């Protein structure tokens, strides 16, 4: 057998081994999460190694426990879900309101500094979140915003606007300029052109960007921890889960139901828009 | 802040223009370039404002705070300037474990960056050619990256737990482990191999493994996109010339992928260096995983020592800049030549 034949065969087999390995490491943790969320805690302690669910163990009381409000003996995750949804949706709206004109300007208009501006915004990511955390923590504590969801959303907007501009800009440059010129000739002002011509055309990109921002805001933990830790009424789902998992009083399977509840919205959205998202993120990557 | 005044007159100016046009008034209309300039500045100003208020100003203030003796309780009465001192820095540099924490941060960052990019590269190569269910697997592989960090960290924590974790249970059954291994709280784990024994920093390695697992999809996504843009002709030519798969990878694919791999390494390095959530959630910074970002948080919340926290964060940011500076000085040009 020549070296080439050997290698062809070897990598032919190895490829399937790698694929199987990747499938296991990515899916198994999520399977484990759902599995434990459907068991009572005794079943977990009795046989921690079991990877399947017997019919007599099956329960959804974990979900009832985790969602019910604290007053009626639950963990109050329904309230946390509401908080998370409010913050995330608010962030999406505000980010898009700021990012759409910004991206349009960067992609179309030759204004003073238009070349540098997107690089400048992306530089935001070079600064550690911890560097921002200190002063924001102090300011929010002093302004009384420290346990307010609005303050949190504003911080998220600043964190997500730069990447939104980048994603939107990559899409906007693919829209032919002549369409816009036609609109201008027909008497549209700049704002009208953006609203009536560009926005409808950029809808796929807007949705992808909005989803990405939603996921960032929904998953965020550090700033939520710094600003909201003192006020359990304002906890987001991420924060609630992290705070409760430090203690020992809440059974792990109930918290596992909490993590399923936390994960599901993001995963559903992601699968609904996977193609949109991956293309929005990596467009431009293949040109480098 | 020059954008706000520039933007303000733009709006009344632009709306009457269509009606102006048939009968030009005496005032000379702005040239197209100047109008574009004004509109552009007006359009970026919301973003600019948000970034200025929530990012730039706070960072500037961090720098000031780092040189002041500031506790959270007395910050109210304090002016923006004053009480200059270098105490915070001496406190940061002298505090126990500063240098080891910086070392840990470096190890953690380098290990996670390398691991996630290599795993992402392997995954991209394996999923390059179509097969049944590829689309589904591709989507599934992005799960670790999109799932909330708190949820996946909690799953790892439970799975690795010595009491009720699935990993230790299977380890005992399959590999005959005598004692359960506390993956997340063992600073040094003794390994006996061929009569030698080593101490491996188990908790740190576990955290690095978590990081690789969570971020390889990111590298995978970008490398796969680039891989699919490599022209088929190149590889076909090499195939005709009798190049083996390893040779084709080494001499055809890798040079094509190098720019995106270099970019990914830099991006992941920056992100991981500043990473707080993952380590905090998994180990709380204990058992030899006290990365610098977690120390900032400890200064801030455990002691309410704003000055020291700011100084620690600043030291972290400056070290990152120095490392990046080195990188671009020595490798920046090389990467450009390669591409």
- Per-residue pLDDT of A29-38, as tens digits, reads 999 888 888 8
What is the spatial distance between Cα B216 and Cα B122, in angstroms, rounded to a whole number?
A: 10
Looking at the fold, whether A90 and A112 belong to one and the same domain comes out as yes
Count of the separate structural domains present in chain A:
2
Residue B11: the pLDDT is 44
Most A-contacting residue of B130, B146, B249, B272 (CB-CB within 10 A), to test interface: B146
Res. B213 pLDDT band, cuts 50 70 90: very high
Contacts with A129 from chain B: Cβ below 8 Å = 274, 276, 293
Per-residue pLDDT tens over the stretch B250-292: 888 888 888 888 888 888 888 888 888 888 888 877 777 788 8
What is the spatial distance between Cα B265 and Cα B272, in angstroms, rounded to a whole number?
A: 10
> Does residue B116 surpass a pLDDT of 90?
yes
Distance of CA A41 to the CA centre of its chain: 30
Cβ-contact A30, A51 below 8 angstroms: no
Residue B2: the pLDDT is 39
Per-residue pLDDT tens over the stretch A3-14: 778 888 888 888
| Distance (Å) of CA A133 to CA A196, A221, B42 | 39, 12, 29
Cβ-contact B277, B260 below 8 angstroms: no
Res. B12 pLDDT band, cuts 50 70 90: very low
Contacts with B259 from chain A: Cβ below 8 Å = 288
What is the spatial distance between Cα B237 and Cα B83, in angstroms, rounded to a whole number?
A: 70
Q: Is B273 on the interface with A (CB under 8 A)?
A: yes
> Does residue A40 surpass a pLDDT of 60?
yes
Q: In the 3-class helix/strand/coil scheme, how is chain A assigned residue by residue?
A: CCHHHHHHHHHHHHHHHHHHHHHHHHHHHHHHHHHHHCCCHHHHHHCCCCCCCCCCCCCCHHHHHHHCCHHHCCCCHHHHHHHHHHHHHHHHHHHHHHHHHHHHHHHHCCCCCCCCHHHHHHHHHHCCHHHHHHHHHHHHHHHCCCCCHHHHHHHHHHHHHHHHHHHHHHHHCCCCHHHHHHHHHCCCCHHHHHHHHHHHHCHHHHHHHHHHHHHHHHHCCHHHHHHHCCCHHHCCHHHHHHHHHHCCCCCHHHHHHHHHHHHHHHHHHHHHCHHHHHHHHHCCHHHC
A263 to B164: CB separation less than 8 angstroms, yes or no: no
Res. B128 pLDDT band, cuts 50 70 90: confident
Most A-contacting residue of B63, B116, B158 (CB-CB within 10 A), to test interface: B158
Please measure the distance between the N-terminal and C-terminal CA atoms of chain A and give it in whole angstroms.
39
The model's pTM: 0.82
Looking at the fold, whether A60 and A87 belong to one and the same domain comes out as no
Backbone torsions φ then ψ of B84, nearest 5 degrees: -60, 135
Looking at the fold, whether A87 and A60 belong to one and the same domain comes out as no
**What long-range pairs does B48-52 form, CB within 8 A, spacing at least 24?**
B48/B3, B50/A98, B50/A154, B50/A157, B50/A158, B50/A161, B51/A121, B51/A124, B51/A158, B51/A161, B51/A162
Residue B5: the pLDDT is 45
Q: Which domains does chain B have, with CATH numbers?
A: 3-66 (no CATH), 90-338 (1.10.3720.10)
Cβ-contact B203, B108 below 8 angstroms: no
Contacts with A126 from chain B: Cβ below 8 Å = 270, 320
Span of A276-280, B94-98, B284-288, B321-325 with lowest mean pLDDT: A276-280
Q: Is B98 on the interface with A (CB under 8 A)?
A: no
Looking at the fold, whether A39 and A82 belong to one and the same domain comes out as no
What is the spatial distance between Cα A24 and Cα A13, in angstroms, rounded to a whole number?
A: 17
> Does residue B228 surpass a pLDDT of 90?
no
Angstroms from A72 CA to nearest CA on chain B: 24
What is the spatial distance between Cα B124 and Cα A261, in angstroms, rounded to a whole number?
A: 30
Q: What is the DSSP letter of B53?
A: I
Res. B74 pLDDT band, cuts 50 70 90: low
Structure tokens at A166: 């980048």
Cβ-contact A172, A107 below 8 angstroms: yes
> Does residue B20 surpass a pLDDT of 70?
no
Q: Is A190 on the interface with B (CB under 8 A)?
A: yes
Neighbours of B196 (CB within 10 A): 7
| Chain A residues 165-184 within an 8 A CB cutoff of chain B | 165
Res. B77 pLDDT band, cuts 50 70 90: low
Looking at the fold, whether A95 and A109 belong to one and the same domain comes out as yes
Structure tokens at B1: 């802040």
B65 to A133: CB separation less than 8 angstroms, yes or no: no
What is the spatial distance between Cα B38 and Cα B5, in angstroms, rounded to a whole number?
A: 10
Cβ-contact B85, B68 below 8 angstroms: yes
Looking at the fold, whether A168 and A27 belong to one and the same domain comes out as no
What is the spatial distance between Cα A241 and Cα A243, in angstroms, rounded to a whole number?
A: 6
Q: Is B264 on the interface with A (CB under 8 A)?
A: no
The residue with greater pLDDT, B84 or B334, is: B84
Q: Comparing C-alpha atoms, which of A108, A103, A106, A96 is closest to residue A176?
A: A108
Exposed (0-12), middle (13-18) or buried (19+): which is A261, by Cβ within 10 Å? buried
Looking at the fold, whether A147 and A251 belong to one and the same domain comes out as yes
B139 to A190: CB separation less than 8 angstroms, yes or no: no
Looking at the fold, whether A142 and A267 belong to one and the same domain comes out as yes
Looking at the fold, whether A24 and A61 belong to one and the same domain comes out as yes
What is the spatial distance between Cα B73 and Cα A84, in angstroms, rounded to a whole number?
A: 30
pLDDT cut 90: percent of chain B above it: 9
Res. B49 pLDDT band, cuts 50 70 90: confident
Range of the domain at A112: 70-287
Residue A288: the pLDDT is 40
Q: Is A200 on the interface with B (CB under 8 A)?
A: no
**What long-range pairs does A3-9 form, CB within 8 A, spacing at least 24?**
A3/B244, A4/B242, A4/B243, A4/B244, A4/B245, A7/B244, A7/B245, A7/B246, A8/B244, A8/B245
Looking at the fold, whether A167 and A216 belong to one and the same domain comes out as yes
Please name the residues in contact with A13: beta carbons below 8 A apart, sequence gap of 6 or more: none
What is the spatial distance between Cα A244 and Cα B202, in angstroms, rounded to a whole number?
A: 26
Residue B21: the pLDDT is 46
Q: Is B148 on the interface with A (CB under 8 A)?
A: yes
Structure tokens at B311: 């100084």
| Sequence-ordered alpha helix ranges (H) in chain B | 3-7, 10-14, 17-20, 32-51, 57-66, 87-94, 98-126, 134-141, 143-146, 149-159, 166-170, 202-227, 232-240, 245-248, 254-273, 277-282, 292-302, 306-327, 333-338
Query: Span A128-145, mean pLDDT?
Result: 75
B151 to A189: CB separation less than 8 angstroms, yes or no: no
Looking at the fold, whether A22 and A124 belong to one and the same domain comes out as no
Query: Span A223-238, mean pLDDT?
Result: 82
Per-residue pLDDT tens over the stretch B192-206: 666 667 777 788 888
What is the spatial distance between Cα A277 and Cα B139, in angstroms, rounded to a whole number?
A: 11
> Does residue B73 surpass a pLDDT of 80?
no
Angstroms from B87 CA to nearest CA on chain A: 17
Q: Is B143 on the interface with A (CB under 8 A)?
A: yes
Q: Is B276 on the interface with A (CB under 8 A)?
A: yes
Residue B295: the pLDDT is 81
Residue where a domain terminates, one of A67, A85, A106: A67
Cβ-contact B105, B273 below 8 angstroms: yes
Looking at the fold, whether A252 and A175 belong to one and the same domain comes out as yes
Cβ-contact A69, A203 below 8 angstroms: no
Span of A195-199, A259-263, B150-154 with lowest mean pLDDT: A195-199
What is the spatial distance between Cα B165 and Cα B156, in angstroms, rounded to a whole number?
A: 9
Residue recorded with tokens 């990473």: B275
Query: Span A142-157, mean pLDDT?
Result: 77
Q: Is B158 on the interface with A (CB under 8 A)?
A: yes
Query: Span B103-107, mean pLDDT?
Result: 88
Most B-contacting residue of A31, A87, A90, A135 (CB-CB within 10 A), to test interface: A135
Cβ-contact B213, B205 below 8 angstroms: no
Residue where a domain terminates, one of A11, A36, A67: A67
B58 to A135: CB separation less than 8 angstroms, yes or no: yes
A138 to B75: CB separation less than 8 angstroms, yes or no: yes
The residue with greater pLDDT, A216 or B32, is: A216
Residue where a domain terminates, one of A25, A44, A67: A67
The answer to whether the Cα torsion of A242, A244, A247, A250 is positive or negative is negative
Angstroms from A148 CA to nearest CA on chain B: 16
| Chain A residues 118-137 within an 8 A CB cutoff of chain B | 121, 124-137
What is the spatial distance between Cα A102 and Cα A163, in angstroms, rounded to a whole number?
A: 11
What is the spatial distance between Cα A110 and Cα B297, in angstroms, rounded to a whole number?
A: 42
Q: Comparing C-alpha atoms, which of A283, A121, A122 is closest to residue A205?
A: A283
Report the CATH number that the domain containing residue A113 is assigned in CATH.
1.10.3720.10
């Amino acid at each position: 057998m020549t070296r080439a034949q050997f290698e062809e065969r070897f990598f032919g087999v190895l490829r399937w081994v790698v694929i199987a390995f990747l499938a296991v490491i990515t899916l198994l943790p999520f399977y484990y999460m759902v599995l434990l969320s459907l068991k009572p805690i005794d079943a977990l302690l009795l046989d921690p190694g079991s990877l399947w669910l017997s019919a007599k163990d099956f329960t959804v009381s974990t979900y009832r426990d985790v969602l019910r409000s604290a007053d009626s003996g639950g963990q109050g995750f329904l309230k946390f879900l509401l908080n998370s949804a409010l913050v995330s949706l608010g962030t999406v709206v505000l980010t898009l309101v700021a990012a759409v004109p910004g991206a349009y300007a960067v992609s179309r208009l030759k204004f003073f500094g238009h070349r540098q501006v997107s690089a400048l915004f992306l530089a935001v990511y070079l600064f550690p979140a911890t560097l921002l955390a200190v002063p924001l923590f102090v300011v929010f504590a002093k302004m009384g915003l420290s346990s307010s969801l609005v303050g949190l959303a504003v911080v998220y907007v600043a964190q997500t606007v730069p990447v939104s501009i980048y994603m939107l800009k990559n899409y906007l440059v693919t829209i032919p300029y002549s369409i816009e010129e036609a609109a201008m000739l027909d008497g549209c002002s700049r704002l009208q052109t953006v609203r009536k011509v560009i926005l409808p055309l950029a809808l796929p990109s807007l949705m992808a960007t909005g989803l990405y921002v939603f996921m960032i805001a929904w998953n965020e933990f550090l700033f939520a921890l710094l600003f909201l830790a003192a006020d359990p009424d304002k906890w987001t789902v991420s924060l609630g889960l992290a705070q409760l998992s430090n203690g020992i009083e809440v059974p792990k399977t109930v918290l596992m139901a909490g993590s399923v509840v936390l994960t599901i919205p993001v995963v559903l959205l992601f699968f609904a828009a996977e193609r949109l998202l991956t293309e929005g993120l990596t467009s431009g990557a293949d040109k480098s | 802040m020059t954008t706000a005044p520039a933007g303000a007159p733009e709006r009344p100016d632009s709306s009457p223009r269509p009606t102006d046009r048939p009968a030009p008034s005496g005032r000379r209309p702005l040239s197209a370039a100047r109008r574009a300039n004004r509109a552009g500045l007006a359009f970026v100003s919301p973003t600019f404002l948000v970034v200025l208020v929530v990012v730039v100003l706070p960072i500037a203030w961090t720098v000031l705070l780092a040189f002041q003796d500031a506790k959270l309780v007395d910050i109210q009465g304090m002016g923006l300037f004053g009480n200059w001192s270098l105490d915070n820095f001496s406190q940061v540099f002298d505090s126990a474990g500063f240098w080891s924490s910086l070392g840990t941060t470096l190890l953690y960052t380098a290990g996670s960056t390398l691991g996630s990019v290599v795993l992402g590269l392997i995954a991209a190569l394996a999923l390059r050619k179509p097969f049944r269910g590829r689309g589904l697997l591709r989507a599934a592989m992005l799960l670790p990256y999109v799932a909330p960090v708190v949820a996946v960290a909690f799953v790892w924590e439970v799975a690795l737990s010595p009491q009720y974790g699935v990993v230790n249970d299977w380890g005992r059954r399959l590999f005959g482990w005598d004692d359960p291994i506390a993956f997340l709280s063992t600073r040094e784990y003794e390994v006996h191999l061929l009569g030698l024994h080593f101490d491996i920093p188990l908790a740190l390695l576990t955290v690095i493994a978590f990081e690789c697992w969570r971020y390889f999809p990111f590298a995978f996504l970008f490398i796969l996109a680039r891989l699919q843009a490599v022209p088929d002709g190149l590889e076909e030519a090499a195939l005709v010339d009798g190049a083996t798969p390893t040779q084709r990878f080494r001499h055809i694919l890798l040079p094509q992928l190098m720019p995106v791999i270099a970019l990914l390494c830099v991006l992941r390095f920056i992100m991981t260096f500043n990473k707080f959530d993952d380590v905090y959630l998994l180990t709380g910074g204990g058992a030899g995983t006290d990365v610098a970002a977690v120390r900032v948080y400890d200064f801030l919340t455990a002691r309410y020592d704003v000055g020291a926290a700011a100084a620690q964060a600043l030291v972290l940011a400056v070290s990152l800049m120095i490392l990046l500076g080195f990188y671009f000085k020595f490798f920046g040009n090389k990467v450009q030549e390669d591409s």
